[in-house]
Amino acid sequence: MTSQQNKNIWFVTGASKGLGLTLVQHLLARGYAVAATSRNLTELQQNVPPSEGRFLPLHMDLGNEASVREAIEQTVKTFGRLDVVVNNAGYGQVGALEELSDEEAHRNFDVNVFGLLHVLRHATPHLRQQGAGRVFNISSVGGFMGDFPGWGIYCATKFAVAGLTESYAAEVREFGVQASVVYPGYFRTDFLTAGSLGTPRQPLAAYQAVRDSQQQHEQQINGNQPGDPEKAAAVLRELSEAPEQPVHVFLGEDAYQMADYKIAAVQQQMQQWKHLAAATNLSVEA
Amino acid sequence: MSNSKIWFVTGASQGLGLALVQHLLQAGHRVAATSRHPAALVELLGPASKAFLPLHMDLSSEVSVQEAIEQTINTFGRLDVVVNNAGYGIGGSVEELTDAETRQSFEVNVFGVLRVIRHALPHMRAAHAGHIINISSIAALAGTAGWSVYSATKAAVSAMSEGLAQDVASFGIRVTAVEPGGFRTNFLTPESLVFAAQPLAAYQTVRDTHARYLALNGSQAGDPAKAAVAIEQLAAEPTPPVHLLLGQDAFRRATQQLQGRLQETETWKTVTVSTDFAQ
Protein backbone atom coordinates (compact mmCIF):
# COMPACT_ATOMS: atom_id res chain seq x y z
CA MET A 1 0.00 0.00 0.00
CA THR A 2 1.40 3.39 -0.90
CA SER A 3 1.48 6.11 1.72
CA GLN A 4 -1.08 8.01 -0.31
CA GLN A 5 -3.67 5.33 0.29
CA ASN A 6 -3.22 5.77 4.03
CA LYS A 7 -4.00 9.43 3.81
CA ASN A 8 -7.36 10.78 4.81
CA ILE A 9 -10.00 11.75 2.27
CA TRP A 10 -11.25 15.27 2.97
CA PHE A 11 -14.54 16.98 2.13
CA VAL A 12 -14.40 20.78 2.44
CA THR A 13 -17.32 23.13 1.82
CA GLY A 14 -17.01 26.76 0.77
CA ALA A 15 -13.64 26.05 -0.81
CA SER A 16 -13.36 28.72 -3.50
CA LYS A 17 -12.00 31.36 -1.12
CA GLY A 18 -10.91 32.17 2.42
CA LEU A 19 -10.05 29.53 4.96
CA GLY A 20 -11.64 26.81 2.80
CA LEU A 21 -9.40 27.56 -0.18
CA THR A 22 -6.26 27.77 1.94
CA LEU A 23 -7.13 24.44 3.58
CA VAL A 24 -7.69 22.71 0.23
CA GLN A 25 -4.39 24.02 -1.15
CA HIS A 26 -2.59 23.02 2.04
CA LEU A 27 -3.99 19.48 1.88
CA LEU A 28 -3.35 18.95 -1.83
CA ALA A 29 0.25 20.13 -1.41
CA ARG A 30 0.70 17.38 1.18
CA GLY A 31 -0.70 14.58 -0.91
CA TYR A 32 -4.22 14.29 0.47
CA ALA A 33 -7.28 13.65 -1.67
CA VAL A 34 -9.81 16.44 -1.34
CA ALA A 35 -13.39 16.90 -2.46
CA ALA A 36 -14.06 20.61 -2.37
CA THR A 37 -17.41 22.28 -2.87
CA SER A 38 -18.53 25.71 -3.96
CA ARG A 39 -21.53 27.35 -5.58
CA ASN A 40 -19.00 28.72 -8.03
CA LEU A 41 -17.28 25.77 -9.67
CA THR A 42 -15.35 27.91 -12.15
CA GLU A 43 -13.83 30.07 -9.43
CA LEU A 44 -12.93 26.94 -7.47
CA GLN A 45 -11.24 25.31 -10.48
CA GLN A 46 -9.37 28.52 -11.30
CA ASN A 47 -8.03 28.87 -7.76
CA VAL A 48 -6.96 25.26 -7.34
CA PRO A 49 -4.77 23.72 -10.04
CA PRO A 50 -5.48 20.07 -11.01
CA SER A 51 -3.70 17.62 -8.71
CA GLU A 52 -3.16 14.15 -10.20
CA GLY A 53 -6.66 12.88 -9.59
CA ARG A 54 -6.60 13.83 -5.91
CA PHE A 55 -8.76 16.90 -6.30
CA LEU A 56 -12.51 16.66 -6.87
CA PRO A 57 -14.06 20.09 -7.36
CA LEU A 58 -17.82 19.92 -6.91
CA HIS A 59 -20.63 22.31 -7.56
CA MET A 60 -22.82 22.22 -4.47
CA ASP A 61 -25.72 24.41 -3.39
CA LEU A 62 -25.90 24.24 0.40
CA GLY A 63 -29.48 25.43 0.29
CA ASN A 64 -30.51 22.35 -1.64
CA GLU A 65 -30.49 19.04 0.22
CA ALA A 66 -30.43 16.97 -2.99
CA SER A 67 -27.37 18.88 -4.18
CA VAL A 68 -25.59 18.19 -0.89
CA ARG A 69 -26.44 14.49 -1.01
CA GLU A 70 -25.15 14.22 -4.57
CA ALA A 71 -21.87 15.93 -3.70
CA ILE A 72 -21.26 13.52 -0.84
CA GLU A 73 -22.21 10.51 -2.93
CA GLN A 74 -19.89 11.63 -5.70
CA THR A 75 -17.07 11.98 -3.18
CA VAL A 76 -17.58 8.47 -1.83
CA LYS A 77 -17.90 7.10 -5.37
CA THR A 78 -14.68 8.81 -6.46
CA PHE A 79 -12.43 8.20 -3.46
CA GLY A 80 -14.14 5.17 -1.93
CA ARG A 81 -14.63 6.79 1.48
CA LEU A 82 -14.88 9.97 3.46
CA ASP A 83 -12.60 10.59 6.44
CA VAL A 84 -12.67 14.27 7.34
CA VAL A 85 -15.62 16.61 6.81
CA VAL A 86 -15.00 20.35 7.14
CA ASN A 87 -18.13 22.46 7.24
CA ASN A 88 -16.49 25.72 6.34
CA ALA A 89 -19.04 27.48 4.08
CA GLY A 90 -20.77 30.42 5.69
CA TYR A 91 -20.95 34.18 5.55
CA GLY A 92 -21.10 37.13 7.91
CA GLN A 93 -24.24 39.20 8.28
CA VAL A 94 -24.21 42.65 9.85
CA GLY A 95 -27.29 44.50 11.09
CA ALA A 96 -29.23 45.14 14.26
CA LEU A 97 -31.92 42.56 15.01
CA GLU A 98 -34.55 45.22 14.37
CA GLU A 99 -33.06 46.14 10.98
CA LEU A 100 -32.71 42.71 9.47
CA SER A 101 -35.84 41.33 7.84
CA ASP A 102 -37.20 37.84 8.39
CA GLU A 103 -35.83 36.99 4.95
CA GLU A 104 -32.33 38.32 5.68
CA ALA A 105 -32.22 36.39 8.95
CA HIS A 106 -33.43 33.21 7.28
CA ARG A 107 -30.86 33.45 4.50
CA ASN A 108 -27.99 33.59 6.99
CA PHE A 109 -29.37 30.54 8.84
CA ASP A 110 -29.99 28.72 5.52
CA VAL A 111 -26.28 28.73 4.76
CA ASN A 112 -24.59 28.80 8.17
CA VAL A 113 -26.89 26.33 9.97
CA PHE A 114 -29.33 24.42 7.77
CA GLY A 115 -26.74 23.90 5.03
CA LEU A 116 -24.26 22.54 7.55
CA LEU A 117 -26.98 20.21 8.87
CA HIS A 118 -27.60 18.93 5.31
CA VAL A 119 -23.93 17.95 5.10
CA LEU A 120 -23.97 16.23 8.50
CA ARG A 121 -27.22 14.42 7.71
CA HIS A 122 -25.76 12.91 4.52
CA ALA A 123 -22.13 12.44 5.58
CA THR A 124 -22.85 10.78 8.92
CA PRO A 125 -24.22 7.49 7.47
CA HIS A 126 -20.85 6.94 5.71
CA LEU A 127 -18.82 7.87 8.79
CA ARG A 128 -20.89 5.54 10.97
CA GLN A 129 -20.54 2.65 8.54
CA GLN A 130 -16.78 3.13 8.47
CA GLY A 131 -16.75 3.28 12.25
CA ALA A 132 -14.42 6.25 11.87
CA GLY A 133 -14.44 9.86 10.81
CA ARG A 134 -13.61 13.40 11.81
CA VAL A 135 -15.86 16.42 11.58
CA PHE A 136 -14.85 20.07 11.91
CA ASN A 137 -17.67 22.58 12.00
CA ILE A 138 -16.28 26.07 11.48
CA SER A 139 -18.09 28.40 13.83
CA SER A 140 -16.47 31.67 14.92
CA VAL A 141 -15.39 33.28 18.14
CA GLY A 142 -18.76 35.01 17.61
CA GLY A 143 -20.22 31.55 18.26
CA PHE A 144 -18.94 31.76 21.82
CA MET A 145 -19.14 35.45 22.62
CA GLY A 146 -22.13 37.39 21.32
CA ASP A 147 -21.65 40.92 22.54
CA PHE A 148 -20.67 42.43 19.21
CA PRO A 149 -23.12 45.22 18.29
CA GLY A 150 -24.71 44.54 14.93
CA TRP A 151 -23.72 40.90 14.74
CA GLY A 152 -26.74 39.37 16.52
CA ILE A 153 -28.00 37.18 13.67
CA TYR A 154 -24.52 36.05 12.65
CA CYS A 155 -23.65 35.19 16.24
CA ALA A 156 -26.98 33.35 16.56
CA THR A 157 -26.07 31.18 13.57
CA LYS A 158 -22.61 30.48 14.95
CA PHE A 159 -23.87 29.78 18.49
CA ALA A 160 -26.31 27.35 16.86
CA VAL A 161 -23.40 25.59 15.16
CA ALA A 162 -21.58 25.36 18.49
CA GLY A 163 -24.65 24.05 20.31
CA LEU A 164 -25.46 21.39 17.77
CA THR A 165 -21.83 20.29 17.44
CA GLU A 166 -21.56 19.64 21.18
CA SER A 167 -24.55 17.32 21.05
CA TYR A 168 -23.52 15.83 17.70
CA ALA A 169 -20.10 14.95 19.13
CA ALA A 170 -21.85 13.11 21.97
CA GLU A 171 -24.19 11.32 19.53
CA VAL A 172 -21.54 9.91 17.22
CA ARG A 173 -18.69 9.23 19.64
CA GLU A 174 -19.74 5.60 20.12
CA PHE A 175 -19.48 5.10 16.34
CA GLY A 176 -15.83 6.12 16.38
CA VAL A 177 -16.59 9.54 14.91
CA GLN A 178 -15.10 12.68 16.48
CA ALA A 179 -16.51 16.15 15.98
CA SER A 180 -15.24 19.60 16.87
CA VAL A 181 -16.58 23.11 16.73
CA VAL A 182 -13.85 25.50 15.57
CA TYR A 183 -13.94 29.11 16.75
CA PRO A 184 -11.55 31.20 14.70
CA GLY A 185 -10.81 34.75 15.77
CA TYR A 186 -10.09 37.30 13.05
CA PHE A 187 -8.26 35.66 10.15
CA ARG A 188 -6.94 37.48 7.11
CA THR A 189 -9.45 36.32 4.51
CA ASP A 190 -12.04 38.20 2.44
CA PHE A 191 -14.72 37.47 5.08
CA LEU A 192 -15.11 41.18 5.85
CA THR A 193 -14.99 42.50 2.28
CA ALA A 194 -18.00 43.83 0.43
CA GLY A 195 -19.56 41.06 -1.60
CA SER A 196 -18.83 38.52 1.11
CA LEU A 197 -20.35 40.30 4.10
CA GLY A 198 -24.13 40.75 4.22
CA THR A 199 -25.36 44.21 5.21
CA PRO A 200 -28.93 45.28 6.02
CA ARG A 201 -31.07 46.36 3.09
CA GLN A 202 -32.99 48.78 5.29
CA PRO A 203 -30.66 50.24 7.91
CA LEU A 204 -32.22 52.43 10.61
CA ALA A 205 -30.51 55.73 11.32
CA ALA A 206 -30.93 55.28 15.08
CA TYR A 207 -28.44 52.39 15.26
CA GLN A 208 -25.21 54.40 15.23
CA ALA A 209 -23.34 51.77 17.29
CA VAL A 210 -24.14 49.20 14.62
CA ARG A 211 -22.92 51.47 11.80
CA ASP A 212 -19.73 52.17 13.77
CA SER A 213 -19.14 48.46 14.30
CA GLN A 214 -19.75 47.74 10.61
CA GLN A 215 -17.38 50.47 9.52
CA GLN A 216 -14.74 49.37 11.99
CA HIS A 217 -14.92 45.80 10.66
CA GLU A 218 -14.95 46.79 6.98
CA GLN A 219 -12.31 49.49 7.12
CA GLN A 220 -10.04 48.89 10.10
CA ILE A 221 -10.13 45.20 10.91
CA ASN A 222 -10.37 44.03 7.29
CA GLY A 223 -6.86 43.43 5.98
CA ASN A 224 -5.33 43.72 9.44
CA GLN A 225 -6.62 40.49 10.94
CA PRO A 226 -3.91 38.80 12.99
CA GLY A 227 -4.84 35.24 11.98
CA ASP A 228 -2.91 33.40 9.27
CA PRO A 229 -5.24 31.06 7.32
CA GLU A 230 -2.29 28.82 6.39
CA LYS A 231 -1.56 28.17 10.07
CA ALA A 232 -5.23 27.47 10.72
CA ALA A 233 -5.15 24.88 7.92
CA ALA A 234 -2.10 23.24 9.51
CA VAL A 235 -3.88 23.04 12.86
CA LEU A 236 -6.95 21.38 11.35
CA ARG A 237 -4.78 18.84 9.55
CA GLU A 238 -2.85 18.06 12.74
CA LEU A 239 -5.99 17.74 14.84
CA SER A 240 -7.55 15.39 12.28
CA GLU A 241 -4.62 13.05 12.84
CA ALA A 242 -4.37 13.42 16.62
CA PRO A 243 -5.81 10.43 18.49
CA GLU A 244 -8.30 12.73 20.24
CA GLN A 245 -9.45 16.05 18.86
CA PRO A 246 -11.01 18.47 21.38
CA VAL A 247 -14.71 19.27 21.00
CA HIS A 248 -13.93 23.00 21.20
CA VAL A 249 -11.09 24.46 19.15
CA PHE A 250 -10.30 28.16 19.50
CA LEU A 251 -8.00 29.59 16.81
CA GLY A 252 -6.00 32.75 17.31
CA GLU A 253 -4.67 34.65 20.30
CA ASP A 254 -7.68 37.00 19.99
CA ALA A 255 -10.10 34.06 20.13
CA TYR A 256 -8.29 32.76 23.21
CA GLN A 257 -8.55 36.16 24.92
CA MET A 258 -12.23 36.54 24.08
CA ALA A 259 -13.09 33.02 25.27
CA ASP A 260 -11.21 33.64 28.49
CA TYR A 261 -13.01 36.95 28.99
CA LYS A 262 -16.44 35.44 28.25
CA ILE A 263 -16.03 32.50 30.62
CA ALA A 264 -14.86 34.79 33.42
CA ALA A 265 -17.70 37.26 32.76
CA VAL A 266 -20.37 34.54 32.86
CA GLN A 267 -18.89 33.02 36.01
CA GLN A 268 -18.89 36.43 37.66
CA GLN A 269 -22.51 37.09 36.61
CA MET A 270 -23.53 33.64 37.83
CA GLN A 271 -22.13 34.35 41.28
CA GLN A 272 -23.69 37.79 41.41
CA TRP A 273 -27.16 36.45 40.57
CA LYS A 274 -26.92 33.10 42.31
CA HIS A 275 -29.61 34.13 44.79
CA LEU A 276 -32.17 34.25 41.98
CA ALA A 277 -30.86 31.16 40.17
CA ALA A 278 -31.00 29.05 43.30
CA ALA A 279 -34.36 30.30 44.59
CA THR A 280 -36.62 28.51 42.15
CA ASN A 281 -36.59 24.87 43.22
CA LEU A 282 -39.68 23.27 44.68
CA SER A 283 -39.54 22.95 48.43
CA VAL A 284 -38.37 19.50 49.42
CA GLU A 285 -41.35 17.51 50.56
CA ALA A 286 -41.02 15.61 53.78
CA MET B 1 -49.33 51.29 41.53
CA SER B 2 -45.89 52.55 40.59
CA ASN B 3 -44.31 49.11 40.21
CA SER B 4 -47.01 47.94 37.85
CA LYS B 5 -45.70 47.23 34.38
CA ILE B 6 -47.15 46.30 31.00
CA TRP B 7 -46.03 42.79 30.08
CA PHE B 8 -46.23 40.89 26.80
CA VAL B 9 -45.81 37.13 27.32
CA THR B 10 -45.76 34.60 24.46
CA GLY B 11 -46.73 30.94 24.81
CA ALA B 12 -48.89 31.73 27.82
CA SER B 13 -51.38 28.87 27.74
CA GLN B 14 -49.06 26.39 29.45
CA GLY B 15 -45.87 25.84 31.38
CA LEU B 16 -43.66 28.67 32.51
CA GLY B 17 -45.63 31.22 30.46
CA LEU B 18 -48.88 30.35 32.20
CA ALA B 19 -47.29 30.42 35.66
CA LEU B 20 -45.73 33.79 34.86
CA VAL B 21 -48.97 35.39 33.68
CA GLN B 22 -50.87 34.04 36.71
CA HIS B 23 -48.27 35.52 39.02
CA LEU B 24 -48.08 38.87 37.22
CA LEU B 25 -51.85 39.37 37.26
CA GLN B 26 -51.96 38.57 40.98
CA ALA B 27 -49.13 41.00 41.60
CA GLY B 28 -51.06 43.83 39.93
CA HIS B 29 -49.35 44.03 36.56
CA ARG B 30 -51.12 44.39 33.22
CA VAL B 31 -50.45 41.53 30.84
CA ALA B 32 -50.96 40.81 27.16
CA ALA B 33 -50.68 37.03 26.81
CA THR B 34 -50.42 35.22 23.50
CA SER B 35 -51.13 31.70 22.37
CA ARG B 36 -52.17 29.86 19.24
CA HIS B 37 -55.13 28.80 21.41
CA PRO B 38 -56.70 31.95 22.89
CA ALA B 39 -59.67 29.93 24.21
CA ALA B 40 -57.24 28.08 26.47
CA LEU B 41 -55.93 31.42 27.76
CA VAL B 42 -59.43 32.52 28.77
CA GLU B 43 -60.20 29.14 30.30
CA LEU B 44 -57.02 29.16 32.40
CA LEU B 45 -56.64 32.85 33.17
CA GLY B 46 -60.13 34.28 32.95
CA PRO B 47 -61.80 36.63 30.50
CA ALA B 48 -60.20 39.78 29.13
CA SER B 49 -60.17 42.57 31.68
CA LYS B 50 -58.57 45.95 32.34
CA ALA B 51 -55.42 44.10 33.32
CA PHE B 52 -55.52 41.07 31.04
CA LEU B 53 -55.44 40.94 27.25
CA PRO B 54 -55.58 37.40 25.82
CA LEU B 55 -54.36 37.39 22.22
CA HIS B 56 -54.31 34.91 19.40
CA MET B 57 -50.84 34.97 17.88
CA ASP B 58 -49.13 32.67 15.39
CA LEU B 59 -45.38 33.09 15.92
CA SER B 60 -44.64 31.84 12.42
CA SER B 61 -46.60 34.71 10.87
CA GLU B 62 -44.94 38.11 10.96
CA VAL B 63 -48.28 39.84 10.35
CA SER B 64 -49.88 38.01 13.27
CA VAL B 65 -47.00 39.04 15.56
CA GLN B 66 -47.19 42.65 14.42
CA GLU B 67 -50.95 42.74 15.07
CA ALA B 68 -50.61 41.26 18.56
CA ILE B 69 -48.05 43.88 19.53
CA GLU B 70 -50.09 46.72 18.05
CA GLN B 71 -53.16 45.54 19.90
CA THR B 72 -51.17 45.53 23.13
CA ILE B 73 -50.05 49.11 22.53
CA ASN B 74 -53.59 50.16 21.60
CA THR B 75 -54.95 48.58 24.77
CA PHE B 76 -52.33 49.45 27.39
CA GLY B 77 -50.61 52.42 25.74
CA ARG B 78 -47.09 51.02 25.99
CA LEU B 79 -44.96 47.92 26.41
CA ASP B 80 -42.53 47.57 29.33
CA VAL B 81 -41.47 43.95 29.41
CA VAL B 82 -41.54 41.42 26.57
CA VAL B 83 -41.11 37.79 27.57
CA ASN B 84 -40.32 35.53 24.62
CA ASN B 85 -41.36 32.30 26.28
CA ALA B 86 -43.00 30.28 23.47
CA GLY B 87 -40.89 27.37 22.29
CA TYR B 88 -40.71 23.61 22.32
CA GLY B 89 -38.21 20.82 22.78
CA ILE B 90 -37.08 18.65 19.89
CA GLY B 91 -35.24 15.37 20.37
CA GLY B 92 -33.30 13.33 17.86
CA SER B 93 -29.80 12.98 16.48
CA VAL B 94 -28.63 15.34 13.76
CA GLU B 95 -28.74 12.46 11.28
CA GLU B 96 -32.31 11.47 12.17
CA LEU B 97 -34.01 14.85 12.19
CA THR B 98 -35.12 15.96 8.74
CA ASP B 99 -34.62 19.41 7.30
CA ALA B 100 -38.35 20.06 7.79
CA GLU B 101 -38.31 18.98 11.46
CA THR B 102 -35.23 21.09 12.12
CA ARG B 103 -36.56 24.18 10.40
CA GLN B 104 -39.91 23.93 12.17
CA SER B 105 -38.22 24.15 15.57
CA PHE B 106 -36.10 27.12 14.48
CA GLU B 107 -39.25 28.76 13.07
CA VAL B 108 -40.77 28.87 16.57
CA ASN B 109 -37.76 28.94 18.90
CA VAL B 110 -35.62 31.41 16.93
CA PHE B 111 -37.39 33.19 14.07
CA GLY B 112 -40.56 33.63 16.16
CA VAL B 113 -38.50 35.36 18.86
CA LEU B 114 -36.90 37.57 16.21
CA ARG B 115 -40.34 38.55 14.85
CA VAL B 116 -41.49 39.67 18.29
CA ILE B 117 -38.26 41.61 18.88
CA ARG B 118 -38.45 43.25 15.45
CA HIS B 119 -41.95 44.60 16.13
CA ALA B 120 -41.59 45.39 19.83
CA LEU B 121 -38.41 47.42 19.48
CA PRO B 122 -39.82 50.43 17.61
CA HIS B 123 -42.18 51.02 20.56
CA MET B 124 -39.48 50.49 23.16
CA ARG B 125 -37.05 52.75 21.32
CA ALA B 126 -39.70 55.47 21.12
CA ALA B 127 -40.30 55.11 24.87
CA HIS B 128 -36.55 54.96 25.53
CA ALA B 129 -37.24 52.11 27.98
CA GLY B 130 -38.08 48.45 28.08
CA HIS B 131 -36.81 45.00 28.95
CA ILE B 132 -36.72 42.05 26.57
CA ILE B 133 -36.53 38.71 28.36
CA ASN B 134 -35.80 35.74 26.12
CA ILE B 135 -36.44 32.32 27.64
CA SER B 136 -33.51 30.21 26.51
CA SER B 137 -32.40 27.04 28.31
CA ILE B 138 -29.44 25.55 30.11
CA ALA B 139 -29.16 23.51 26.88
CA ALA B 140 -27.81 26.69 25.28
CA LEU B 141 -24.72 26.38 27.45
CA ALA B 142 -24.36 22.64 27.79
CA GLY B 143 -25.26 20.37 24.89
CA THR B 144 -26.20 16.74 25.49
CA ALA B 145 -26.59 13.73 23.22
CA GLY B 146 -29.99 13.60 21.55
CA TRP B 147 -30.83 17.28 21.83
CA SER B 148 -28.54 18.80 19.22
CA VAL B 149 -31.14 20.80 17.33
CA TYR B 150 -32.83 22.01 20.50
CA SER B 151 -29.44 23.12 21.86
CA ALA B 152 -28.78 24.91 18.59
CA THR B 153 -32.05 26.86 18.76
CA LYS B 154 -31.46 27.88 22.37
CA ALA B 155 -27.79 28.74 21.81
CA ALA B 156 -29.04 31.01 19.00
CA VAL B 157 -31.46 32.68 21.41
CA SER B 158 -28.74 33.28 24.00
CA ALA B 159 -26.39 34.60 21.31
CA MET B 160 -28.80 37.08 19.86
CA SER B 161 -29.68 38.26 23.36
CA GLU B 162 -26.01 39.10 23.93
CA GLY B 163 -25.74 41.04 20.68
CA LEU B 164 -29.11 42.70 21.10
CA ALA B 165 -28.21 43.86 24.61
CA GLN B 166 -25.37 45.86 23.04
CA ASP B 167 -27.40 47.08 20.06
CA VAL B 168 -30.13 48.63 22.21
CA ALA B 169 -28.29 49.63 25.42
CA SER B 170 -28.03 53.23 24.24
CA PHE B 171 -31.82 53.30 23.79
CA GLY B 172 -32.37 52.51 27.48
CA ILE B 173 -33.56 48.98 26.66
CA ARG B 174 -32.37 45.96 28.65
CA VAL B 175 -32.06 42.40 27.38
CA THR B 176 -31.77 39.19 29.37
CA ALA B 177 -31.53 35.56 28.26
CA VAL B 178 -33.05 33.39 30.98
CA GLU B 179 -31.53 29.90 31.02
CA PRO B 180 -33.71 27.58 33.11
CA GLY B 181 -32.89 24.03 34.14
CA GLY B 182 -35.64 21.44 34.56
CA PHE B 183 -38.96 22.93 35.71
CA ARG B 184 -42.09 20.99 36.56
CA THR B 185 -44.12 21.91 33.48
CA ASN B 186 -45.46 19.83 30.60
CA PHE B 187 -42.28 20.52 28.59
CA LEU B 188 -41.31 16.84 28.75
CA THR B 189 -44.71 15.42 27.84
CA PRO B 190 -45.56 13.93 24.44
CA GLU B 191 -48.00 16.80 23.75
CA SER B 192 -45.17 19.30 24.00
CA LEU B 193 -42.01 17.49 22.98
CA VAL B 194 -41.29 16.52 19.36
CA PHE B 195 -39.11 13.54 18.45
CA ALA B 196 -37.57 12.52 15.14
CA ALA B 197 -40.31 10.84 13.11
CA GLN B 198 -37.76 8.48 11.54
CA PRO B 199 -35.47 7.18 14.29
CA LEU B 200 -32.48 5.02 13.30
CA ALA B 201 -31.86 1.85 15.29
CA ALA B 202 -28.15 2.62 15.60
CA TYR B 203 -28.77 5.58 17.90
CA GLN B 204 -29.51 3.61 21.06
CA THR B 205 -27.65 6.16 23.20
CA VAL B 206 -29.99 8.87 21.98
CA ARG B 207 -33.05 6.70 22.75
CA ASP B 208 -31.66 6.02 26.24
CA THR B 209 -31.07 9.72 26.87
CA HIS B 210 -34.61 10.51 25.81
CA ALA B 211 -36.03 7.79 28.07
CA ARG B 212 -34.04 9.21 30.97
CA TYR B 213 -35.41 12.70 30.33
CA LEU B 214 -38.99 11.51 29.95
CA ALA B 215 -38.69 9.62 33.22
CA LEU B 216 -37.85 12.93 34.89
CA ASN B 217 -41.22 14.34 33.91
CA GLY B 218 -43.16 15.25 37.03
CA SER B 219 -40.11 15.24 39.27
CA GLN B 220 -38.17 18.22 37.90
CA ALA B 221 -36.77 20.25 40.80
CA GLY B 222 -37.82 23.61 39.39
CA ASP B 223 -41.02 25.29 40.59
CA PRO B 224 -42.64 27.36 37.78
CA ALA B 225 -44.29 29.66 40.34
CA LYS B 226 -40.88 30.53 41.79
CA ALA B 227 -39.50 31.09 38.29
CA ALA B 228 -42.34 33.58 37.78
CA VAL B 229 -41.31 35.44 40.95
CA ALA B 230 -37.67 35.45 39.83
CA ILE B 231 -38.62 36.85 36.40
CA GLU B 232 -40.76 39.57 37.97
CA GLN B 233 -37.82 40.45 40.22
CA LEU B 234 -35.48 40.46 37.21
CA ALA B 235 -37.69 43.01 35.45
CA ALA B 236 -37.57 45.25 38.53
CA GLU B 237 -33.77 45.38 38.55
CA PRO B 238 -32.17 48.66 37.44
CA THR B 239 -29.25 46.78 35.87
CA PRO B 240 -30.38 43.25 35.04
CA PRO B 241 -27.84 40.65 33.86
CA VAL B 242 -27.58 39.57 30.21
CA HIS B 243 -27.73 35.92 31.31
CA LEU B 244 -29.79 34.57 34.19
CA LEU B 245 -29.72 30.88 35.05
CA LEU B 246 -32.76 29.51 36.88
CA GLY B 247 -32.62 26.45 39.10
CA GLN B 248 -29.86 24.81 41.10
CA ASP B 249 -29.47 22.16 38.39
CA ALA B 250 -28.88 24.90 35.80
CA PHE B 251 -26.38 26.59 38.10
CA ARG B 252 -24.56 23.28 38.66
CA ARG B 253 -24.45 22.33 34.97
CA ALA B 254 -23.30 25.79 33.94
CA THR B 255 -20.56 25.76 36.57
CA GLN B 256 -19.31 22.35 35.43
CA GLN B 257 -19.50 23.34 31.79
CA LEU B 258 -17.59 26.59 32.27
CA GLN B 259 -14.90 24.91 34.36
CA GLY B 260 -14.56 22.21 31.72
CA ARG B 261 -14.35 24.82 28.99
CA LEU B 262 -11.71 26.84 30.82
CA GLN B 263 -9.67 23.71 31.33
CA GLU B 264 -10.01 22.68 27.67
CA THR B 265 -9.14 26.21 26.55
CA GLU B 266 -5.95 26.12 28.64
CA THR B 267 -5.03 22.58 27.54
CA TRP B 268 -5.17 23.58 23.89
CA LYS B 269 -3.79 27.10 24.30
CA THR B 270 -0.56 26.37 22.44
CA VAL B 271 -2.54 25.26 19.39
CA THR B 272 -4.95 28.19 19.68
CA VAL B 273 -2.28 30.87 19.79
CA SER B 274 -0.14 29.26 17.08
CA THR B 275 -2.12 30.60 14.13
CA ASP B 276 -1.37 34.33 14.08
CA PHE B 277 0.93 35.93 11.53
CA ALA B 278 4.46 36.47 12.80
CA GLN B 279 4.69 39.99 14.29
Residues counted in chain B: 279
Q: What is the pLDDT of residues B230-239, one digit of tens each?
A: 999 999 999 9
Q: What is the pLDDT of residues B10-23, one digit of tens each?
A: 999 999 999 999 99
Instruction: Please report whether residue B273 resides in a domain.
Output: no
Indicate which residues of B carry an active-site annotation.
136, 150, 154
- The sign of the CA dihedral B145, B148, B152, B154 is negative
Q: Is B272 within 8 Å of A252 when comparing Cβ atoms?
A: yes
B252 touches chain A (CB under 8 A): no
- How many domains are there within chain A? 1
CATH code at A55? 3.40.50.720
Q: Is B205 within 8 Å of A153 when comparing Cβ atoms?
A: no
Residue B50: how many CB atoms within 10 A of its CB?
A: 8
Q: Determine the 3-state secondary structure of B25 from DSSP.
A: helix
Instruction: Please report whether residue B10 resides in a domain.
Output: yes
B166 touches chain A (CB under 8 A): yes
| A-chain residue closest to B16, CA distance | A280
- How many domains are there within chain B? 1
Q: What is the pLDDT of residues B62-91, one digit of tens each?
A: 999 999 999 999 999 999 999 999 999 999
Query: Active-site residue A16, yes or no?
Result: yes
Looking only at Cα atoms, what is the longest distance across chain A?
A: 74
**Percentage of chain A lying above the pLDDT 70 cut:** 97
Instruction: Please report whether residue A159 resides in a domain.
Output: yes
Above 50 in pLDDT, residue A250?
A: yes
Instruction: Please report whether residue B97 resides in a domain.
Output: yes
Give pLDDT, residue B135.
98
CATH code at B16? 3.40.50.720
What average pLDDT does this structure show over B36-64? 96
B56 touches chain A (CB under 8 A): no
Instruction: Please report whether residue B274 resides in a domain.
Output: no
Nearest CB partner across the interface for B268, out of A164, A172, A246: A246
Give pLDDT, residue A2.
42
Instruction: Please report whether residue A286 resides in a domain.
Output: no
Q: Is A228 within 8 Å of B139 when comparing Cβ atoms?
A: no
Instruction: Please report whether residue A15 resides in a domain.
Output: yes
Domain that holds residue B192: 6-254
CB of A19 closer than 8 Å to CB of A237: no
Give pLDDT, residue A286.
43
**Percentage of chain B lying above the pLDDT 70 cut:** 99
Query: Of A32, A140, A154, A186, which one is the catalytic site residue?
Result: A154
ipTM strictly over 0.90? no
Q: How far apart are CA A154 and CA A166, in angstroms?
A: 19
**Percentage of chain B lying above the pLDDT 90 cut:** 90
Domain that holds residue A85: 3-277
Q: What is the pLDDT of residues B199-217, one digit of tens each?
A: 999 999 999 999 999 998 8
B153 touches chain A (CB under 8 A): yes
What average pLDDT does this structure show over B131-135? 98
Residues of B with CB below 8 A from A282's CB? 184, 221-223, 226
Instruction: Please report whether residue B231 resides in a domain.
Output: yes
Confidence of residue A6 (pLDDT cuts 50, 70, 90): confident
Give pLDDT, residue A51.
81
Residues of A with CB below 8 A from B250's CB? 277
Instruction: Please report whether residue B270 resides in a domain.
Output: no
Q: How far apart are CA A192 and CA A284, in angstroms?
A: 54
CB of A172 closer than 8 Å to CB of A157: no
Q: Is A148 within 8 Å of B164 when comparing Cβ atoms?
A: no
Which residue, among B63, B82, B94, would best test binding to A if mutated, counting the most A CBs under 10 Å from its CB?
Answer: B94
Above 70 in pLDDT, residue A5?
A: no
What average pLDDT does this structure show over A129-136? 97
Instruction: Please report whether residue B259 resides in a domain.
Output: no
Instruction: Please report whether residue B275 resides in a domain.
Output: no
Query: Active-site residue A231, yes or no?
Result: no
| Cβ within 8 Å of residue B125, ≥6 positions away | A98, A206, B168, B171, B173
Residues of B with CB below 8 A from A271's CB? none
What is the H or E stretch that residue A84 is in?
Answer: strand A84-87
Instruction: Please report whether residue A254 resides in a domain.
Output: yes
Q: What is the pLDDT of residues B147-179, one digit of tens each?
A: 999 999 999 999 999 999 999 999 999 999 999
